[in-house]
Amino acid sequence: FTGSLKAYTSSFAQESALVCRQVCGGAGCLAENRLTELVRDLTLFTTMEGGNTILELMTARNLLLDFQRGLDTPKIMKALGWVGKSVSKAAKTGPLKSRDTSSETLTSQEFLGSALRYKKERLLYSLARRVRSRLDEGRSLFDTLNECQEHCLLLSRAYCEEKVYRCLRNTWESCPPGWDKRVLGHLLSLFALSRIEDDKGWFLEQSYLTPGQSRAVRAQVLELCSVVAQEADQILDAFELTPHMLDSNLLDGAKKK
């Protein structure tokens, strides 16, 4: 999980910093505003141990190790077929199969957790079948993983997103003293729904979502973004940023306004 989390978060941080620099126009390129320095440091951190693609491939390989014992038995294909049917059945009986597009359903933890877990398990079982069939043809594991590289990357990201969601959900459910459970809930729902929206094409291909539900997910993400924007100050205060971190001419101008 550590490798996939590093790859996931560093890519997100690098993309976020680049967007911040770009939306600030020419001011974002000035050294005194420190955004160029931030982009540079994040790029260095992201690639220090090699590209994130390598870490994601290693994560997928480690997930497949859980199947190693099964891959050595002649019954693995039958077992994977049975599991695949179970996953397909889960899609047909998923929380949105009733075509419900209400915000209550879309932001329910039952739907969010089931959708992210379904994607992770579906990709894992599919990759295991692909690897097994190629190994049966006499190909090496190295060549097999290279041929299934795109599938490996999808699995690694789906695994990390589902794991992050579960950690966030555990925090939300326990809600440590002094924390605002309502704000945590908004962030949790926004994270999970934005991941579903980002992969809505995949969910539509798997018939997990209908086109109407896909549009409803997008609308709900936009609504949650508006809600979270109103809570931005409270969220930032939770990070307890030091004065040095906020030392920027851009921020000074915003404070004066």
Mean pLDDT estimate for the chain: 81
Give 221's pLDDT tier (boundaries 50, 70, 90).
Answer: very high
Find all residues with CB under 8 Å of 187, minimum gap 6, and list them. Answer: 168, 228, 235
Does position 192 have pLDDT exceeding 90, yes or no? yes
Lowest mean pLDDT of 91-95, 105-109, 167-171, 188-192, name the range: 91-95
Q: Give the length of the chain.
A: 257
pLDDT at 138 (0 to 100): 87
pLDDT tens, position by position, 25-57: 888 888 888 888 888 888 887 776 667 888 888
Give 165's pLDDT tier (boundaries 50, 70, 90).
Answer: very high
pLDDT tens, position by position, 222-257: 999 999 999 988 888 888 878 777 777 777 655 555
Give 129's pLDDT tier (boundaries 50, 70, 90).
Answer: confident
Lowest mean pLDDT of 9-13, 151-155, 202-206, name the range: 9-13
Q: What percent of the chain has pLDDT over 70?
A: 82
- Distance (Å, whole) CA 200 – CA 204: 6
pLDDT at 159 (0 to 100): 92
Treating both helix axes as pointing N-terminal to C-terminal, what angle do 109-136 and 149-174 enclose, rounded to 10 degrees? 150
pLDDT at 61 (0 to 100): 84
pLDDT tens, position by position, 71-117: 555 545 555 554 555 555 555 445 555 567 788 888 888 899 999 99
Does position 214 have pLDDT exceeding 60, yes or no? yes
Does position 120 have pLDDT exceeding 80, yes or no? yes
Name which of 113, 106, 231 is nearest 180 in CA terms: 231
- Residue 187 carries which side chain, given as an amino acid letter? L
Give 160's pLDDT tier (boundaries 50, 70, 90).
Answer: very high
| The token pair that represents 229 in the structure block | 């924007």
